[in-house]
Structure 1
């Protein structure tokens, strides 16, 4: 049987990220991004092998772009696609695993749209367009929140009146589940421990950031909550703030809910603290050059991360290791070093050379002798989505 090909689609409100995943290849035969969809500046970028190309598509819709992506995917797959896997941000409590898309799944994604108003409606557009364009291909939805549905009530419930949970779904859901699931399995493989008897602290650090406590391959707690705003300081998101900050800003500054929401989601985090950038590479260079805002942003980011990881340890019966992943987690040796300096009680000690070596897709163990394990594990959410799609096709 020849190796199968899965097209993975991540459909946003104005963008489509895609990759062709071949189950026998470690790299993607095809990958690309369509951005600024619906605007005069809409453009499609893709890489086919070593060849990079772009196509201007002014005013183009999601469906029109998908009709351009399909021939590219079919060519890269040698004329044979086996299925399409869709990333879906929010599955609520209804979806505890990935599912073949049918009418019930579409209804479930739609029902959870109020929990992810910027994401779920866009996912539906992408899924429905793909189903119309590729009616004979199996389509699978893979939910960011599904992995965290194994959290116990004491981890996912907020201390608010019962009806807010039972009638309105107000609880902690968590995100980045596909990434945390993938890297915890890879970490177990790397160190030779069975997934079903392992315990990990995981830090997914990019423009969005979250931590997770993973026991025997299942999420036991995570830092994000009802929305991706809860938890760590991130690129432009504030992370945890006093819950009364909203009313304080409304009362003292006269800000609307929309203005407060925008500030906390788009103008805070590393960007807000530094007054400079949300990019950790830029900030670290500025920090080393003595920029006070960049230094503050760097220090807050690392301290809040260490504090969250220490809290996540409450959910573990033992510790097999700490995993760093995501753009910052995989590439910033300085963030890893500074974060672990705040976690002395855990006994973490870095091997400086190994830590410096783990950048640009290079993973591995970076602890010094006698330290608990510290791993850098490059994430691959596209491959995990493809693996879930293949598993459902096999089933």
Structure 2
């Protein structure tokens, strides 16, 4: 009994094959075409990473290539496609769905209608689904939603101050995203602190290409920075984050921009890229800032300012904080950004240990010994949350160690 997990991003696809009984990973692959060349990496159970630059490869080609690689070699991860119990698919926006669900034509139709609310991700997930269903037509396909973890928010957190009929008739509300990551980090933080989750107050900062922060109290999300779409909230790589709606009206009335042009700019041309004029990659922006580029420095200052604001607001929402969590690409790997964010948070009881922070590799506590609250850096594992959700939908017992990462 094996489970295939497919996690489609805006310019990448991660695939993971898990042994259901043992609860371990048999193989992983990732295709990434964000740069000038497409890179494909395959890691078999031996932990050896095989990376190559390949020709045109997108979602369909990656699914086929991974399934082919799984059946190669002396000890194939998948001897026959009949060994698959299910395929799990990550969808950023689930709309009205608050739990994972087996995909039917009706479910697919509902997700299709949400394309424009998550334009960087839902279309790629649908393309991946179509490719997987073509290759594996007899295997159950399960949709796992990033929005589901945030469905525990109270009405005062998810309701916008807009006419009631907009909310009631048109479903306009805050949903929240990156839920697979926030859910995993919530569980992992409780383990690291050796405390039950039901009395923990966590602020989780998922800082990657997309960025969001959440307040998790007692293992449940009570608030988050993203809203009706993933565009709201923190400054991101190419997304603006929250902006005064009046700016949009001004651009339409006085600059002649169309709704489509504004949407394109706010999703693809803003954030780190828009302010710095250099890159959407924090590493390149930081390098330029170190060389004295004023716009790069401003981009980082705005980024840090927005995250610090969110941490303060979410902490007050819970009446305090027991641990601050950093995760995702920037959160896990950029010690300088973490230190800038934590500077001044002593008022919340958060004191960083600079030496531990500079040398850390997840999963680790980087708070000083005297800090009243802890500061954790956690290697997020969305695939582990996906596995749990697929097992629940299929009625399968959680197996083995639950390790869902092949270590090279």
| Aligned residues of 2:236 and 2:272 also touching (Cα < 8 A) | yes
Does residue 30 of structure 2 align to residue 32 of structure 1? yes
Cα distance between partner residues in 2 of 1:210 and 1:15: 20
**CA 1:115–1:169 in structure 2 vs 1: closer, same or farther (change >3 Å)?**
farther
Is contact 2:16-2:25 (8 Å) kept?
A: no
Partner residue in 2 for 1:350:
352
Partner of 2:388: 387
Q: What CA deviation, in whole Å up to 9, does each residue of 1:218-264 have, x standing for no partner?
A: 11110011111111111111111111111111223221212222222
C-alpha distance in structure 2 between counterparts of 1:373 and 1:236, whole Å: 30
Equivalent of 2:332, from 330, 333, 344? 330
Aligned length: 384
Give the structure 2 partner of residue 66 of structure 1: 63
TM-score for both structures, normalised by structure 1: 0.88
3-state SS of the aligned residue for 1:167?
A: helix
1:216 corresponds in structure 2 to: 218
Equivalent position of 1:48 in the other structure: 43
After TM superposition, the structure 1 stretch with the greater mean CA deviation from structure 2, 19-28 or 111-120, is: 19-28
Aligned pairs for 1:159-308 (under 5 A) are 159-308=161-310
Q: Could you list the runs of 5+ residues in structure 2 that have no partner in the other structure?
A: 397-408
Say if 1:363 and 1:377, in contact at 8 Å, map to a contact too.
Answer: yes
The 3 A distance-change label for structure 1 pair 168 and 203 is same
Greater relative contact order (CA < 8 Å, ≥ 6 in sequence): 2
- Which residue of structure 2 lines up, in the alignment, with residue 87 of structure 1? 90
In structure 2, C-alpha distance between the alignment counterparts of 1:199 and 1:78, rounded to whole Å: 42
Report the secondary structure of 1:345's partner residue.
Answer: helix
- Tell me which moved more, 27-36 or 130-139: 27-36
Structure 1 residues 366 and 209: alpha-carbon distance in aligned structure 2, compared to 1, 3 A threshold: same
SS at match of 2:203: strand
RMSD, aligned CA: 2.6
**Structure 1: distance between partners of 2:33 and 2:343:** 39
Post-superposition offset of 1:111: 4.0
Quick one: structure 1 residues 56 and 273, their matched pair in 2 at CA, closer, same or farther if it must change by over 3 Å?
closer
1:253-281 deviation per Cα after TM superposition (whole angstroms, max 9, x unaligned): 22121222222222211112222222212
Gaps of 5+ in 1: none
Tell me by how many angstroms 1:131 deviates: 2.8
Check conservation: 1:5, 1:77, Cα contact below 8 A.
Answer: no
TM superposition shift of 1:47: 1.4
Tell me which moved more, 5-14 or 310-319: 5-14
Deviations 1:260-315 (A, max 9, x none): 22222222111122222222122222223322112111111111100011111233
